[in-house]
Structure 1
Amino acid sequence: MIYTVTLNPALDYFMNYEKISLGEVNRTSQTQVSAGGKGIMESRMLSLMESPTTALGFLGGFSGEYIRTFLNEHGVLSDFTPIDSLTRINVKLKTEDEETSLDAAGPILKESDIQAFIQKFENLKPDDIVVFAGTIPKALGEDFYERLIEKVKIKRASFVLDIDGQKLLKSLKSHPLLIKPNREELEAIFNTSLKTNEEIIPFGKKLLDMGAQYAIVSMAGDGALLFSRDAVYFAEGIKGELKNSIGAGDSTVAGFLAEYHETKDLLKAFRQAIACGTAKAFSKDMPTREFVNEIYKKVEIKEISINGN
């Protein structure tokens, strides 16, 4: 089973405009409501790829119930911890030129909520993978991921980190199975500017030296790099119409895990990662399985470095 953990899920309300004028009434041409959160998006893609997955986290109020129902209707198993606080609602504003996200604060959590959630980790098995994705509500404290990672390690299961910044670096010593920073996040982590593959490679390798088992560095339309202990691989960017970049990175992680959990084949997992991430970016919402398969055939991967040579 692949468990995804979304500690701060959201009901995402998308609103499309030709243009937005601040201080005035703006009338939308199109709206859409969806279950938001990195782990939730990953479980949606895992379910699409017919990989066993269960979404974990906290849900409360009418917005939380909407998310639970939404996932159920889309065939995604979930085992969220119920809370009294309202699950946040985020507003996503989109015009022809840009996207703006108005994100709400996280929920209020009681100690009993937290303990009920932690208890779910007692059921982990050694072949399970847990994906920790996104932000942490303030009520849980900055070290909450570290606490959960210890639970995973005790059960001899694997975990993946889909978080950014210093929280990611701090957790590398626990040897996550996979991390997936994009180029901008890698630049922020190491306080540098990275333009070419040759500039990125030393920092990708450094992530492995710090503890990650595998790392994918995504570069949007410029492709992606996969780092392993033995080699570095590059997947060319695939040309197409960008329709919705939200969730593309999450879908990349899900695509990798769907294949790796089943076959342990690293290159097939990387190919599936690129296919899922690209298909998501080229779709208004979730792609079809057929579209993912179509993109999969277009993925080109080459090895660009072996053992540092």
Structure 2
Amino acid sequence: MIYTVTLNPSLDYIVRVDGMRLGTINRTAFEQILPGGKGVNVSIVLGNLGHGSRALGFTAGFTGSELERLCGEAGVDCDFIRVERGMTRINVKVKSDEETELNGRGPAITEEDVEALLAKLDGLGADDTLVLSGSVPACLPSDMYERLMLRVAGRGVRVVVDAERELLTRSLPHRPFLVKPNNHELGDIFGVTLSRRDEVVPYARRLQEQGAANVLVSMAGEGGVLVAQTGQVFESAAARGTVVNSVGAGDSSVAGFLAGLMETGSYEAAFRMALAAGSASAFSDHLATRAEVEALLSA
């Protein structure tokens, strides 16, 4: 079983406003509400690809109830901890001449809530994968990912980490199965600018030296690179298409990689599916479907 953890999930309220102006009333030309959060996105895409998962994390208030309802509609098995204070955040994404985001804070999570989440990991074993995605809210300790990884240590659980900067680097001594920075995040870690696929490889290997088994680097229009634990390096240009929305593309890549690896046992096939899933989400106003991924794989 694959378990995804989203510590601060959201309802994403997406609106399009033609010619938005500040300081006056604007009316929307389009709007939709979607379940949000990186781990939630991974679970949705896994389901679209035909693989079940269980979404863990924290929800609160009426917005949390709506998030769980929308996840259920998307076929996601939710097992969130219900938090008493505050509410699941609403992230407002305004699309106009420029894109603007207003991200909420989220609920107040206590140590008791954290312990309840940790307890849900006690049944995981060698056949399970734990996906840790996204940021840690300010109300939680900065070592939250490390605590989650330590809770499953020694049981053969494959841990995937998709996070920025210190969250990722501090996970490396715990030997994650996969880390997935993009090229900008990887460059930030080492204080360099990485714009070409060949530039990425030595820095991905440095993450391996620090503990990661596999390093998948997404590069938007430049495609991506996988440095596998076998020593193999796979790289590819991006698929051709019109980018509609990049939100969720990286999460889709994680889901595609896991689905491809489960289906074939091949790192190369997993890499190809990761890139196709990421591109399929970027080329659509929804998260990647199986048909869209297979269309790109066969193109």
**Residues 204 and 111 of structure 1, relative CA distance in 2, 3 Å threshold:** closer
CA offset digits 1:56-108 (Å, max 9, x no partner) = 0001111101111101111111111111131111100112x432211111320
Moved more, 149-158 or 238-247: 149-158
Name 1:191's counterpart in structure 2.
191
Poorly superposed stretches of 4+, deviation over 3 Å: none
Could you tell me whether the CA contact under 8 Å between 1:106 and 1:138 is conserved in 2? Answer: no
Matched to 1:88, the amino acid is R
Determine helix, strand or coil for the equivalent of 1:181: coil
Determine helix, strand or coil for the equivalent of 2:100: strand
Q: Distance in 2 between matches of 1:250 and 1:66?
A: 21
Q: Distance in 1 between matches of 2:144 and 2:11?
A: 23
1:19-38 correspondence to structure 2 within 5 Å: 19-38=19-38
Name 2:291's counterpart in structure 1.
290
Name 1:98's counterpart in structure 2.
98
Determine helix, strand or coil for the equivalent of 1:215: strand
Structure 2 residue 175 is the aligned partner of structure 1 residue 175: yes
The sequence identity of aligned pairs, in percent, is 42
Moved more, 218-227 or 152-161: 152-161
Name 1:214's counterpart in structure 2.
214
Q: Distance in 1 between matches of 2:100 and 2:261?
A: 34
Could you tell me whether the CA contact under 8 Å between 1:83 and 1:113 is conserved in 2? Answer: yes
Unpaired runs of 5+ residues, structure 2, are: none
Could you tell me whether the CA contact under 8 Å between 2:5 and 2:131 is conserved in 1? Answer: yes
Could you tell me whether the CA contact under 8 Å between 2:196 and 2:222 is conserved in 1? Answer: no
Could you tell me whether the CA contact under 8 Å between 2:45 and 2:289 is conserved in 1? Answer: no
Q: Distance in 2 between matches of 1:178 and 1:147?
A: 17
1:36-185 correspondence to structure 2 within 5 Å: 36-84=36-84, 85-95=86-96, 97-185=97-185
Q: Distance in 1 between matches of 2:227 and 2:201?
A: 8
Q: Distance in 2 between matches of 1:144 and 1:77?
A: 23
User: How does the TM-score come out when normalised to structure 2?
Assistant: 0.96
User: How does the TM-score come out when normalised to structure 1?
Assistant: 0.93
Structure 2 residue 204 is the aligned partner of structure 1 residue 204: yes
Q: Distance in 1 between matches of 2:69 and 2:43?
A: 14
Name 1:307's counterpart in structure 2.
none
Q: Distance in 1 between matches of 2:201 and 2:59?
A: 40
1:227-266 correspondence to structure 2 within 5 Å: 227-229=227-229, 230-266=231-267
Could you tell me whether the CA contact under 8 Å between 1:152 and 1:158 is conserved in 2? Answer: no
Matched to 2:53, the amino acid is T
Give the superposition deviation at 1:242.
Answer: 0.9
Q: Distance in 2 between matches of 1:213 and 1:92?
A: 35
1:8-27 correspondence to structure 2 within 5 Å: 8-27=8-27
Q: Distance in 2 between matches of 1:226 and 1:98?
A: 33
CA offset digits 1:215-268 (Å, max 9, x no partner) = 111111111011124121111211111111100000000100112234431111
Count of aligned pairs: 297
Could you tell me whether the CA contact under 8 Å between 2:252 and 2:287 is conserved in 1? Answer: no
Determine helix, strand or coil for the equivalent of 2:139: helix
Could you tell me whether the CA contact under 8 Å between 2:239 and 2:276 is conserved in 1? Answer: no
Name 2:224's counterpart in structure 1.
224
Name 1:306's counterpart in structure 2.
none
Moved more, 151-160 or 171-180: 151-160
Q: Distance in 2 between matches of 1:4 and 1:262?
A: 19
Could you tell me whether the CA contact under 8 Å between 2:252 and 2:288 is conserved in 1? Answer: no
Determine helix, strand or coil for the equivalent of 2:188: helix
CA offset digits 1:110-151 (Å, max 9, x no partner) = 232222111101111211000000111222200111011011
Matched to 1:238, the amino acid is A
Q: Distance in 1 between matches of 2:78 and 2:252?
A: 18
Q: Distance in 2 between matches of 1:288 and 1:261?
A: 17
Give the superposition deviation at 1:38.
Answer: 0.1
Determine helix, strand or coil for the equivalent of 1:217: strand
**Residues 198 and 263 of structure 1, relative CA distance in 2, 3 Å threshold:** closer
Unpaired runs of 5+ residues, structure 1, are: 299-309
Q: Distance in 2 between matches of 1:126 and 1:86?
A: 35
